[in-house]
Amino acid sequence: MTTNERPIGERHNPVMLRRTLDLLAPALAEPGATVVDCTLGLGGHSEALLSTFPAARLIGLDRDPAALELAGERLAPYADRATLVHAVYDELPQVLSRLEVPRVQGVLFDLGVSSLQLDEADRGFAYAQDAPLDMRMDQTSGPGAAEVLNTYPPGDLVRILRSYGEEKQARRIVEAIVREREKEPFTRSGRLVEVIREALPQAAKRTGGNPAKRTFQALRIEVNGELTVLERALPAALEALAVGGRMVVLAYHSLEDRLAKQLFATGSRNTAPPGLPVVPEQYQPRLRLLTRGAELPTDEEIAENRRAAPARLRAAQRIREAT
């Protein structure tokens, strides 16, 4: 049985599922509660939310039409309570407006690349398989990874690899890429992996797993504008939360996690000028942190699902309206 033929439930093992459900539970127990899964993927978290909270309504967003189709099949038993929308998660305000949902009680972000995208070889996300260099989460729009590699100025490529991939050997890799693209444009992931492998010194190849991992991550983030979108999406989701509502963010990259950390830290502080004997309402914190720092998956979960290893979970509750 191929990857594509396996049942959806076997293709997607939701990360830190029990903890996510426990954190959202107090906000979703009441009838009429709405939860938004901003990163629907194959629907593993959404299925668990719908089955665990039988009075809740779910809105699921995904930019990948293939993921929406498969998640729709998985969530068919809950069709009367689930609305699936083809949208990038920074479009949440427009989606809620169209659906006439003013506020929601729960929001979940499970960031990064989905199991579907990693497992479909022809998507080009996985450095372990030779495939067309695409990496678009929505294959109906925008340039793919090959166009980025073949057309970006060297300085931009170095910046992307350093910023999004935290690649220390960025300049060396980019020099090799530029030499190779002048001979022939990049079209396949296998060739890129070989160029990276040959460009790195032996010491760099002995640590940190596949030497192409950081470059592929950086290209994926650039192609999909992930951090730019997330910078807009997290505050928008927070604004959509009703008082008492809860938000959970699962990040797999230090830059994603930093955005969530900063947003939650800012919202959980009072903004009063120093020295006031009593802090007026407008300066009181808007958020209550539900996690101490970032929570990590257990060793047992990582053993069962290696894709959980880099996960970092943060959660917060909205405790007052903005003024």
Residue with tokens 């030779």: 130
The annotated binding site for S-adenosyl-L-methionine is made up of: 43-45, 62, 89, 110, 117
Tally: H helices and E strands in the chain:
15, 7
Which two tokens mark 1?
A: 């049985």
Of 149, 153, 214, the closest CA to residue 184 belongs to 149
Which amino acid is located at 152 in the chain? Y
CB 90 within 8 A of CB 61: no
Q: Where are the beta strands (DSSP E) in the chain?
A: 34-37, 57-62, 82-86, 104-110, 241-251, 287-289, 312-318
Element (H, E) at 182: helix 170-183
Query: End-to-end CA distance of the chain, in Å?
Result: 56
The annotated binding site is made up of: 43-45, 62, 89, 110, 117
DSSP 295: B
